[in-house]
Amino acid sequence: MASNRKIKVKKILVIRFSSIGDIVLTSPVVRCLHEQLGAEVHFLSKKRFASMLDHNPHISKRFYLEDSLSEVVSLLKKENYDAVIDLHHNLRTLRVKTALGKPNFSFPKLNLQKWLLVNMRINKLPKQHIVDRYFNAAEPLGVKNDGRGLDFFIPKKDEVDVGALGLRANEYVAFAIGGQFATKKMPEAKIIDLCKRINTKIVLLGGPEDAATAKHIVEQCANTINACGAFTLNQSASLVKQAKLMISHDTGLMHIAAAFQKKIVSVWGNTVPDFGMTPYYGSNPVEQLQAQVLGLSCRPCSKIGYQKCPKGHFRCMLDQDEQAIAEWVKSRS
């Protein structure tokens, strides 16, 4: 952080390069910068996340990194920002901030504390959500968390008619079956068993890489619909928005569901809620269930994930209690 002195700003650059969930979690800071300061807010991210940012009314201008960071920096220099809010805080963002030479503010990443938890099982992490840590970066500008939670804006063209899928809004469950790493996902057999225990329609959401798994689930579970890879991110968000509630691994769609104030079952494998990335509702009381296998000495084994369990037993997912999850869902759907 460049300074703790409150400065007056009219134009601000916010930086977050990735990923889906992390960008959604920046939305309260963007909103509050815009509304509380009346500032023009610009956002720097990667091109593949453009659809998430292009329709946010609190962002005046967007810059997307494709190949050359130098080219993007040359464009940013022309904007003459009053301040930079760095919500990624890595070497690449340091290059951007150094090149711009403007007052800049970042958030505490707590990498040491995360390393201690993963490697030594010593938990020194604060009981603070990452959204509130993001707000630490905006605090020197006089910005406060308004408590309204997350934002996600879907353009009208991407609103999905659920009737065409044989569904009714608010009468089905959305289930995000994917995850960036295998150790963040329930095995296919566990998902099938869970879906069979839920006596309502379930829409399976994920990317093209999840379509084959979803196909196998649909073959075994008559109450499921395979939407994996068939919809864009915004269209998938529309399906989440119209769902009664959400089941999700530790993924970006979980945070999108929280933006729509949905009840959520978040299923945790190798990662843990202590990292501060749970569903975030601001000051609104919304029911959620954090499904995790407690008491495993190997957990968390990573702050991100692996393609297979490093211990070989994968108990953090294989021991998940799908009956308890199903009962929670059925009592609320």
Mean pLDDT, to the nearest integer, of 171-194?
97
**Given this model, what pLDDT does residue 333 score?**
81
Residue-wise pLDDT tens digits, 123-151: 999 999 999 999 999 999 999 999 999 99
Chain center to CA of 69: 25
Mean pLDDT, to the nearest integer, of 276-300?
97
- Domain ranges in the chain? 11-141, 157-330
Q: Give me 276's structure tokens.
A: 């501060």
Whether the pLDDT of residue 18 is over 70: the answer is: yes
Q: How far apart are CA 300 and CA 270, in angstroms?
A: 5
Could you tell me which CATH class the domain 11-141 is placed in? alpha beta
Whether the pLDDT of residue 4 is over 50: the answer is: no
Cite the beta strand spans of the chain per DSSP E.
Answer: 11-15, 40-46, 61-65, 83-86, 104-106, 173-176, 202-205, 224-226, 245-249, 263-267, 288-291
Superfamily of domain 157-330: Glycogen Phosphorylase B; (3.40.50.2000)
* pTM above threshold 0.85: yes
Q: Which residues, in sequence order, are CB contacts of 46 under 8 Å at separation 6+?
A: 17, 18, 64, 65, 66
Strand-pairing partners, residue 13, are 42, 84
